[in-house]
Chains A and B, each alone.
Chain A
Amino acid sequence: MIAFTSATCLGDVLEEAFRRFSGQPALWVKGQTYTYSALEQLARGILSGLPATDIRTGRVAILAERNEIAYAGILGTVLAGLTYVPLNPRFSAARILDILQQVDADVVISDNRGAAILESIRESLPPRLAVLVAEGANPASNTRPRSTNVRPDDTVYILFTSGTTGRPKGVPVSQANVMAFLANICNRVPSGPGDRFLQLLDLSFDPSVHDLFGCWSTGGTLYSAPEGMATMADRFVRDFQITHLSAVASTAALLHTQNRLAPRSLPSVRETIFGGEALPVNIASAWRTAAPNATVRNHYGPTEATVAITECVWRDAWAPELSGSVPIGRAFDGQTIALVDDGLRAVPPGTPGELLVSGSQVTRGYLNNPDMTREKFIALPGAQGCWYRTGDLVVDDPLYGLRYRGRADQQLKVRGFRVEGQEVESHVRAASGTDLVAVVGWPKNEEGLVMGLVAFVVGPKVTPDKIIESCRTRMPDYMVPARVITVPELPLNANGKIDHAALARSLDSPNS
């Protein structure tokens, strides 16, 4: 058992693990397997070209596809006790530039694709930023010595929240935050040498923190699904005999729609973590049918609270009685929650309130953004510590634990009625016989008030008219979508979640 509680920094834990498991496979990527010792050498070699005198902020940006450069770049940065900032080559050049400027990185490590993007914005790059193209890099013999003075407050990584509007916000996550999170994960999710983790999600999305460090601290092998192929998760699970994976619900829903989740077809899986978006009950059931040996965990957590801060372990017996989405359960050890109204007063039991979180996983605020930090990281009257306002509406159900009810600020008001988009989506799913459903508020009148709802469905079993008719029998009039539009697919944002804003914009364009 790795002692996350006694060690002070992630680099110490990984150093110990990479020594202990040196001859075992650590990473499979693009058809190549790297042992723990080979990966460590590559990782330490990548940063060896950076002179110690060039380190000012200690921030290392990584702009690469999910390849050995990205994995080794992250590992090398963590082992050196520095801060990694994962960028995604699929981000726009403007977003990449904005993040590089915000973090004031010492160096950006890139592959050829990343290098081409950097070349296109070369004129605007911060002058002190070193560009290190690591394509074809050999494990160097001289390695960077680790900074000896890593403190619990030091930052392990900075992630940027995608945010549908406005400038991306940087969230620095500390050594203490990451160690608290990993201690909670390793207590809950058993793993060890010989286990095979599937890495589906982008490195700029925080479930990857669990995938990489949960796997490598316990001696497992990380299998990286090729860029752009994450939606074929079932085939990777089967062919690599995957035991552990984290996924977003949309991936499972898509596989279900394509009839790719045959009963008992994924028997190797022992642990599945869903996170990042609501997990529909029928998708949890479908996954369990395909992966009968898997514990299915629904994790909830904003980036600001280090990957995940609550968990619900799915039980098959719930399927007939629960509708909508799987609960988000209870807070991790050492973390506290509160449900409050607009005036920050505790809501009565059974009433939805905004979820506030506090504890060792909760970060200290946004990068260079004191105003937003003051707004979102607050003191709560009558309670100790710093609380992060998640902006999520949650209800505490005595039977199932916390249940997600949508975004507090995106709760739709249709002609004055409060409507939770998720609830409408679950009815439209049932009415249309497809799991791929998204509901948006549209159109808006001159005051910006939502006048109706539009549902987008992929591959419905019945006509749009029938869906609307069936919705009328399930929901009050103001919740029934005025239009149901069949689309070939739902747009996803950079994190693989359904992009509701893009759907709303598609309705605003004159061709629709």
Chain B
Amino acid sequence: MNEVKDDVKDVIQRFIWTNYIEGKFSIPLDGSTRLRSSGLMDSLATVGMISFIEKEFDIEFSALELTVDNLDTIDQIASLIARKRK
């Protein structure tokens, strides 16, 4: 179970790193890095990330799940995905 979740984390981390961090910010990115509340990602980046996740993992976030508090770190995002895939 944990391995599956780590897989999910890796995929998201790679996507975020390549598209929004690499060459723009010199910071390490891990599961607890704050993405939105720190300003690393803006609302445009968020749509890109959500669109990618929904396609990649074949899920759909509901309007009620779409808050910055729910989606601020890779750990939070992975937990949300895990809950939705159950």
Are A232 and B45 in contact (CB-based, < 8 A)?
no
Q: How far does the alpha carbon of A30 sit from the alpha carbon of B68 in the complex, in Å?
A: 11
Are B68 and A231 in contact (CB-based, < 8 A)?
no
Q: How far does the alpha carbon of A226 sit from the alpha carbon of B68 in the complex, in Å?
A: 8
Are B20 and A488 in contact (CB-based, < 8 A)?
yes
Inside 8 A of A230's CB, which chain B residues have their CB?
43
Q: How far does the alpha carbon of A231 sit from the alpha carbon of B66 in the complex, in Å?
A: 11
Q: Which of A227, A236, A254, A492 contacts B47 (CB 8 A)?
A: A254
Q: Given known contacts A226-B68, A229-B67, is B43 in contact with A255 (CB within 8 Å)?
A: no
Are A489 and B42 in contact (CB-based, < 8 A)?
yes
How many residues does chain B have at the interface if contact means C-beta atoms less than 8 Å apart?
21
Inside 8 A of A260's CB, which chain B residues have their CB?
47, 51
Most chain B Cβ neighbours within 10 Å, of A30, A229, A254? A229
Are B63 and A492 in contact (CB-based, < 8 A)?
no
Q: How far does the alpha carbon of A490 sit from the alpha carbon of B43 in the complex, in Å?
A: 11
Are B47 and A258 in contact (CB-based, < 8 A)?
yes
Q: How far does the alpha carbon of A492 sit from the alpha carbon of B46 in the complex, in Å?
A: 14
Q: Which of B20, B46, B51, B60 contacts A228 (CB 8 A)?
A: B46
Q: How far does the alpha carbon of A226 sit from the alpha carbon of B37 in the complex, in Å?
A: 13
Are B47 and A231 in contact (CB-based, < 8 A)?
yes
Q: Which of B20, B51, B61, B68 contacts A259 (CB 8 A)?
A: B51
Q: Given known contacts A226-B68, A488-B20, is B63 in contact with A231 (CB within 8 Å)?
A: no
A318 within 8 A of B: no
Q: How far does the alpha carbon of A255 sit from the alpha carbon of B48 in the complex, in Å?
A: 9
B62 within 8 A of A: yes
A239 within 8 A of B: yes
Inside 8 A of B67's CB, which chain A residues have their CB?
30, 226, 229
Q: How far does the alpha carbon of A239 sit from the alpha carbon of B44 in the complex, in Å?
A: 20
Q: State the Cβ distance, A15 to closest chain B Cβ, in Å.
A: 31
A91 within 8 A of B: no
CB contact list, B40-80 vs A, under 8 A: 42-48, 50-51, 60-64, 66-68
Q: Given known contacts A235-B63, A240-B63, is B68 in contact with A254 (CB within 8 Å)?
A: no
Closest to B70 in A: A226
Q: State the Cβ distance, A256 to closest chain B Cβ, in Å.
A: 11
Inside 8 A of B34's CB, which chain A residues have their CB?
none
Are A232 and B47 in contact (CB-based, < 8 A)?
yes
Q: Which of B36, B44, B64, B68 contacts A490 (CB 8 A)?
A: B44
Q: How far does the alpha carbon of A68 sit from the alpha carbon of B64 in the complex, in Å?
A: 17
Are A228 and B36 in contact (CB-based, < 8 A)?
yes
Q: Given known contacts A258-B51, A488-B19, is B64 in contact with A31 (CB within 8 Å)?
A: yes
Inside 8 A of A226's CB, which chain B residues have their CB?
66-68
A-B pairs with beta carbons under 8 Å apart, 10 shown: A228-B68, A231-B44, A235-B60, A235-B62, A235-B63, A254-B47, A258-B51, A489-B42, A489-B48, A492-B43
The interface of chain B, by Cβ under 8 A from chain A, is 19-20, 24, 36, 42-48, 50-51, 60-64, 66-68
- Additional A-B contacts beyond A226-B66, A231-B46, A492-B42 (8; CB < 8 A): A31-B64, A228-B36, A228-B68, A229-B68, A238-B63, A258-B48, A260-B47, A260-B51
